[in-house]
């Protein structure tokens, strides 16, 4: 039995990410989390532009919560992780963290809904994506 | 007995606020909430630049949670409200909503800490601000 | 003979607008210029969402140049002006400035093209808008 | 005689970079250019946080001009190039482009001044950086 490692994505801090407090502006960690989710999905063969154009699916954020523990600063190289709970028919709950080396800077959860790109109503996540994500969950659990 | 009305602040949606889904990008509602908190504090005589320069205090976000209910779009005129729970010595919990006319688009809570602008450690909210906010709370409760 | 005053729009600086240099981040002045252009057009009866939905026209930026003279800071209240040169069939050249009181902080020019929202090809500015802008130009010139 | 290749840096487009026109929002290309300049300087051993903390130098943008030729879209992988003209005592003129494969999307020039982080007045670029950049210029010219 082995466990698939958690997915992580590097983010470098530029001036655009900071504010006059001298640290990273709070909403930018949430953007970093989205970059990491997007790259996680890409690593699973799921591309957001293909989902929209071929499947008419957008992923909309329904809820998020974030705890800010320590600030990041200009030039820092951060590591953003992505994990998720059980997939439901039209939504996903992600768990994410942002680290600088071994230091936890912030963490949060993001609930994402699969919606129709035309009507904006809930639309079932396609089977291929359900299967892909279920396999990933099993790999993470070491099954 | 009368109740002070809830504070609200108008926000107009420009292209800068939107994304390729055709709606307002999710982190921007959190920026709008901060604009409204800043204007609420200004309406109470509390200016963030004075707090930093004269009192060496920054207000840092410790935690936030947001629920997204309906999307805003280009050119919409939104109304962002600000309310808060009991003030503690070095932190404040805000409750906020974003409306378009009578339609609730999103709502959330934001925990803000008062920290020293030099050490980034917790620093007591100055007395004048404690008093000002306590009076506002009482007015909201109709006392 | 009288001259119509130049259009101007107020912009307040929040943390979201600043960077770790302690000043407003450079691209944000360009966003402020766009807010002012949008409000100028609205003052002339031209709404961007109506242009897109009813006329299938988007206004795309083709070129811009900006000179940065002095920095703005947190909490500053700026004034962004909008003027423009002669209107052509499918493009407009705007001249803009950003002031804090009587101090010029930055100025620039922005060339905007009228394009089809579907094909992204140049599309003539509708007559009603041509007429409206020509009248405005004449009023500015004191004719 | 050989020529050092031009420096380039990859940028992936996420939702945060787009607007309701379905394309990348215009100021974001300017941010991408700054990311590439920062990474170019890093490749030359010049770190912006070290410049500020040890040399009390900030690099402030004095002027920029950009031409937008074709739009980038969600999920595109762009390549941002960085080149520069002769270095002066306290300023640098960068030339930059943004490509998607072989397609030029936008290009521009950015004039950056070296200023004192305390007084915001012009401050000479340190010798080590002058030498490093002069060598790079010579290598680019194939000298």
Contact residues on chain D for C61, CB-CB shorter than 8 A = 26, 68
- Distance from CA of residue A129 to its chain's centroid? 15
Looking at residue D46, what DSSP letter applies? -
Neighbours of chain C (3+ CB pairs under 8 A): A, B, D
Query: What pLDDT score was predicted for residue C1?
Result: 55
The chain-wide mean pLDDT, for chain A, equals: 94
* Region of poorest pLDDT, from A2-6, A9-13, B6-10, D22-26: A2-6
Burial of residue A115, with CB atoms counted within 10 A of its CB: 0-12 exposed, 13-18 middle, 19 or more buried? buried
Query: What pLDDT score was predicted for residue A1?
Result: 55
* ipTM score: 0.95
Higher-pLDDT residue of A72, A142: A72
CATH of the domain at C21: 3.10.129.10
Q: How many residues does chain D have?
A: 143
Query: What pLDDT score was predicted for residue D143?
Result: 76
Contact A30 B26 (CB under 8 A): yes
Nearest residue on chain A to C20, judged by CA atoms? A22
Contact C66 D67 (CB under 8 A): no
What residues make up the domain containing D53?
7-141
Query: DSSP strand E in D14-139: where?
Result: 57-68, 77-84, 91-100, 103-116
Given a cut of 90, is residue D78 above it in pLDDT? yes
Query: Token match 């762009």: residue?
Result: D78
Give D101→chain C minimum CA distance, Å: 20
Closest CA to C118 of A50, D21, A53, D70: D21
Residue A2 lies in a domain: no
Residue C25 lies in a domain: yes
Which one of C17, C19, C49, C101 is the catalytic residue?
Answer: C19
**Average pLDDT over every residue of A64-78:** 97
**Average pLDDT over every residue of A48-55:** 93
Neighbours of chain B (3+ CB pairs under 8 A): A, C, D
In which band, very low, low, confident or very high, does the pLDDT at A113 lie, cut at 50, 70 and 90? very high
Residue C138 lies in a domain: no
Contact A68 B60 (CB under 8 A): yes
**Average pLDDT over every residue of A98-106:** 98
Looking at the structure of chain A, the number of domains it has is 1
Nearest residue on chain C to B42, judged by CA atoms? C75
Q: Give B 25-64 residues with CB within 8 A of chain D.
A: 25, 27
Query: What pLDDT score was predicted for residue A141?
Result: 87
Q: Give C 57-96 residues with CB within 8 A of chain B.
A: 73-75
Measured between CB atoms, does B22 come within 8 Å of chain D?
A: yes
pLDDT digits (tens, 9 = 90+) for D40-67: 999 999 999 999 999 999 999 999 999 9
Give B139→chain A minimum CA distance, Å: 30
Which residues in chain B show pLDDT less than 50? none
Contact D65 C65 (CB under 8 A): yes
Which one of A19, A83, A102, A127 is the catalytic residue?
Answer: A19
Contact residues on chain C for A73, CB-CB shorter than 8 A = 20
Contact D73 A49 (CB under 8 A): yes
* Region of poorest pLDDT, from A16-20, A87-91, D112-116: A87-91
* Tokens found for residue D99: 């490509």
Nearest by CB to residue C49, choosing from B35, B38, B75, is B75
Contacts of C59 (CB under 8 A, 6+ apart): C48, C51, C92, C112, C113, C114, C115
Nearest by CB to residue A66, choosing from B60, B64, B117, is B64
- Distance from CA of residue D97 to its chain's centroid? 9
For residue C84, the number of C-alpha atoms closer than 13 Å in the C-beta half-sphere is 24
Give D80→chain C minimum CA distance, Å: 17
Give C34→chain B minimum CA distance, Å: 8
What value, to the nearest 5°, has the Cα angle with vertex C63 and ends C62 and C67? 155
Query: What pLDDT score was predicted for residue B142?
Result: 86
In which band, very low, low, confident or very high, does the pLDDT at A121 lie, cut at 50, 70 and 90? very high
Query: What pLDDT score was predicted for residue C81?
Result: 98
In which band, very low, low, confident or very high, does the pLDDT at A143 lie, cut at 50, 70 and 90? confident
What is the C-alpha separation between A1 and C102, in angstroms, rounded? 71
Residue A37 lies in a domain: yes
What value, to the nearest 5°, has the Cα angle with vertex D114 and ends D110 and D120? 115
Measured between CB atoms, does A14 come within 8 Å of chain C?
A: no
Query: What pLDDT score was predicted for residue B16?
Result: 98
Residue D1 lies in a domain: no
Give A2→chain D minimum CA distance, Å: 32
Residue A117 lies in a domain: yes
Residue B65 lies in a domain: yes
Contact B75 C47 (CB under 8 A): yes
Catalytic residue check, B19: yes
Residue A1 lies in a domain: no
Query: What pLDDT score was predicted for residue A105?
Result: 98
Which residues in chain C show pLDDT less than 70? 1-2
């Amino acid at each position: 039995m082995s466990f698939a490692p958690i997915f992580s994505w590097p983010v470098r801090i530029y001036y655009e990410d900071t504010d006059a407090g001298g640290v990273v502006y709070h909403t930018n960690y949430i953007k970093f989390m989205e970059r990491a989710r997007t790259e996680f999905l890409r690593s699973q063969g799921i591309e957001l532009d293909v989902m929209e154009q071929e499947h008419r699916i957008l992923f909309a954020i329904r809820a998020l919560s974030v705890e800010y523990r320590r600030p990041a600063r200009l030039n820092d190289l951060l590591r953003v992780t992505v994990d998720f709970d059980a997939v439901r028919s039209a939504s996903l709950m992600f768990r994410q963290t942002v680290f600088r080396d071994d230091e936890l800077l912030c963490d949060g959860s993001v609930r994402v809904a699969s919606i129709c790109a035309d009507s904006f109503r809930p639309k079932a996540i396609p089977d291929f994506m359900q299967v892909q994500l279920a396999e990933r969950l099993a790999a993470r659990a070491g099954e």
